[in-house]
Chains A and B, each alone.
Chain A
Amino acid sequence: MPRGGNRGVKFGVVRFPGTCDEVDAYLAASRVGDAEILWHADADLKGVDAVIVPGGFSYGDHLRVGAVARFAPVMAEVETFAADGGLVLGICNGFQVLCEAGLLPGALLPNTSLKFTCRQVDLEVVNASTSWTNVTAVGDVLSIPAKHTTGRYYAPDATLDELEANGQVVLKYAPGHNFNGSVRDIAGVSNAAGNVVGLMPHPEHAVDPLTGSADGLKLFASAAAVPA
């Protein structure tokens, strides 16, 4: 497992008012490369190689989860960056934002319990060739915490069939671990090119065995392993 030091990859972590997990994402990314914070009001990605849209409650999520954040000046840059093949990871609220922005297919609905749930879950790697999973293998099981109220992945059946056919379903909840009611146990998806990935569980909280698991580090290491 690569760790520490500068491997030449620079991660940018977006911070909106209400973002909660940006320092965790920053710390996780800086285990495999450099990291810096990107301010929501700046239309500037500061030349980073990969962008992380982290978890939290952007703008308070007062309207609909992620719905306001997609209009932030920094997100226009992220959209252009993604279209040019730049590496983008959306975690939890970040996943919701990327879906709202149309960078990822589908939508996130309230958990079937309608309650916030914080739980360590097992995820199965379905596609190990995206920019954010390339150091894993298909069938690997990652132990990563999830914590959200609105994380039930949804897309129409036709879209789901297409996503599965294209390998865009990247991560699934292992049997018995889908607590939020996501369709087809989907925990994370990618865009067609595989450079943009979003997932509800929090890999940035699983980078040290001392706090539960280091499996999440593999996502950051994957991005660091992508040739510039």
Chain B
Amino acid sequence: MSRHRELGLTDYEYDLIVEKMGREPNEVELAVFSLMWSEHCGYKHSRPLLKTLPTEGPRLVMGPGENAGAVDVGNGLSCAFKVESHNHPSAVEPFQGAATGVGGILRDIFAIGARPIAILDSLRFGEVGESARSRYLLEHAVAGIGHYGNSIGIATVGGEIYFEGPYETNCLVNAMAVGLIETDELIKSAAAGVGNVVVLFGARTGRDGIGGASVLASAELDVDMEKRPTVQIGDPFEEKKLLECSLELLDRKLLVALQDLGAAGLTSSSAEMAAKGEVGLDLHVRRVPLREQDMEAFEIMISESQERMLCVVEPERVQEVLDVCAKWEVNATAIGEVTDTRRLRVFDGDELVGDLPVEALVDECPTYELEPAEPATPIYPVPPRLLDSEDPAEILLALLGSANLASRTPVFEQYDALVGSRTVRRPEQADAAVLLLPDPKHDDRLTALSPSKDDDGPKPAIAVSIDGNGRRVAADPYRGAVEAVLECSANLACVGAEPLGLTNCLNFGNPEKPHIAWQFSRAIAGLGDACRAFGIPVVGGNVSLYNEGSEGPIYPTPVVGLVGELPDARRSGRLAFQNAGDVIAIVSADSWAPSNAASELSKLRGEAVEGPLPAVDLGELKALHAAIRQAVRAGSLSSAHDVAEGGVAVALAESAIHSGLGATVGRLDDLFGEGPGAFIVTGPADAITAFGAAATVIGEVGGDALIIEGAISLPVADLERAFSGGLADLLH
């Protein structure tokens, strides 16, 4: 096989490279092109579709194209956030794959100068009850996330996990990070200033992760292949030093530009810095500190060794930069200069070993029009039938104990959710995490981004949530993707937060196949329409394609992360019932039409994954979310919880389980149907009246059992047992 095909380039792409170079590329140049023109770096199958997503909003500070997006959260502060995948490395080596996924997304946040304050994750595995491999992947991925996040001291405050057969070979590990920065301190990655010095700082460069972006991320996963050498190894201690060092360098205003080294390492970071700044860079690979002394020039250029950053510094400030790095025990080396050539030139000693046009590398990667076609026959196998009962009580217990709905405590307990002292709502206390914002303009540098210690007065906060349900997108790609945005927004509404910006990670199969192209394009249309209807800009994200193996594609899984604001964290909503005697109501849209299509119940009953999902009126739902948000902010409700997987019965059970309080509820039309547009709220009767016709009173909090007239009567202790044992028992 020819060398360019081994590196993942087509003959057409190779010819195009020769044309742009005006000659045949040498080994270094071909390696660089193969990475920059991979799907992972070049977005060649997704760029045209991504351009259809809305990216404008009144609170937008930094949109797609930088290391992370950012929105204005008031008082001169911005919140930076981004979600990214690390699916294939995690399928090959789950601990390091997940750990470096967290490390990479954190670097994206501090690369724009923001201090990371929170991590969320979105995970998908095969059926954990049946598959030892899935249990292994889950346990090691969770341990990897915890290892990195806990050790670096950034709170993991939320996330989601689903188990579905189509993720058996190809698990998904998506990590989201959130950070804070004073808006006028944001730094960009564009290299500038001819003659300025390029400094590489952080860990030494080794052979780990070579070819990760092209060989691992931009091709279908073949588990028989030995891909472990393409997985990077993470060291949270190195990153902790790198984080504090980077923030001190920025605080001292020593940097012209900053960029992290992620996929494709030095290659992509330098090319992107040069492209954004419309300059050239000369890099000297022999100056790069190495772990192994015999590395070749191309290996140094494409190594994906973790915990490294690249910055541009004025020559007279270089010594100060090196001094700050030395203080933090971080390696720092001047490895190049900014030039006016608009070429990326690579020197090995005195020898010029690569001479590449920057625009061709970054901006002229060919893009491909997808050829979508709706599949004529079902793509996904019908799940096995696990439940025969028609008894609502038995169904409820089966749902609560199912791997997808059971308590996530065995997982969340492995994460530090508290470091930073800003976590007002922890996992399972509310539908979204709530994080305190700092005092505006604190004089003390150490506490500039820390929560206020003033106990009086309003406490501004942000809320964050991450959501996506692959089975529903598989059943109906457009409406399933719309639902991902609605679910995230509903979660924010339940704590009283208004969405400001959205990030996404689009996990799909091989887009060169028409049915995957169809899923992908329909899902992006759904995301775009939902964001436009809700006025939420997409501030950035990540695309992960080729998620399939010999057994077929994963469920199409767009994962969305939302950041919202709430004026006073003292009134953050909770999902647990609070007071016996409170009235329980369903607050729903007129268009709410729950059904069993692609529901958790349909899965337990072994029904095919098929739509259509219920239609929604986005305008009506926007108003409904606003009504819930206002009621929570007013402090008039005791609890708020959206109706999601498992329908109304599961939502009621969850509010009961987390409080220990029971409820008596009248006859309900639909117990387990799913579809966006309903909330369970509790509070005094007059708080419910304020919703007008949208609210239907269905019962009252109290007692120690959940009683639904004519259907269910179960002690809360029994519900709790099913719920807490569901996942824990599978893991041990």
Contacts and interface: CB of A to CB of B under 8 A. Distances in A.
A and B associate: yes
Interface string B146-160: 110011110000000
* Interface core residue of A24, A61, A118 (most chain B CB under 10 Å): A118
B421 A211 contact: yes
Interface stretch (A26-34, A69-77, A159-167, A191-199): A26-34
A110 interface: no
A195 to B, nearest CB: 26
Contacts of B447: 23, 26-27
Contacts of A139: none
Contacts of A37: 446
Interface stretch (A13-21, A96-104, A168-176, A182-190): A13-21
A70 to B, nearest CB: 17
Contacts of A4: 453-454
Given A17-B329, A115-B414, A210-B424, A59 B150 contact: no
A211 B434 CA distance: 10
A87 to B, nearest CB: 21
B339 interface: no
A117 interface: yes
Interface in A1-49: 3-4, 17-21, 23-24, 26-28, 30-31, 37
A142 interface: no
Interface string B404-415: 000000001111
A63 B426 CA distance: 32
Contact of A18 (B147, B240, B570): B240
A207 B451 CA distance: 12
Nearest to B245: A17
B151 A119 contact: no
B436 interface: yes
Contacts of B237: 17-18, 57, 59-62
Interface in B411-460: 412-424, 426, 436, 446-447, 450-451, 453-455, 459
B450 A23 contact: yes
A66 interface: no
Interface string A190-221: 00000000000010110110111000000000
A18 to B, nearest CB: 5
Interface residues of A, number: 36
B572 to A, nearest CB: 9
Contact of B446 (A18, A26, A57, A147): A26
B241 interface: yes
A207 B421 CA distance: 9
Contact of A117 (B235, B240, B414, B454): B414
A139 B423 CA distance: 28
A145 interface: yes
Nearest to A39: B327
B418 A205 contact: yes
* Interface core residue of B151, B152, B415, B423 (most chain A CB under 10 Å): B151
* Interface core residue of B238, B328, B418 (most chain A CB under 10 Å): B418
A27 B449 CA distance: 12
B493 interface: no
B569 interface: yes
Given A21-B153, A118-B413, A147-B150, A211 B446 contact: no
Given A17-B241, A147-B150, A205-B421, A118 B414 contact: yes
Contacts of B455: 3, 208
Contacts of B153: 19-21, 56-57
Contacts of B329: 17
* Interface core residue of B143, B235, B455 (most chain A CB under 10 Å): B455
A19 B244 CA distance: 11
Interface of B: 143, 146-147, 150-153, 235-238, 240-241, 328-329, 412-424, 426, 436, 446-447, 450-451, 453-455, 459, 569-570
14 contacts: A4-B453, A17-B328, A21-B153, A24-B420, A27-B451, A60-B237, A60-B238, A60-B240, A61-B151, A115-B414, A147-B419, A204-B421, A205-B418, A208-B451
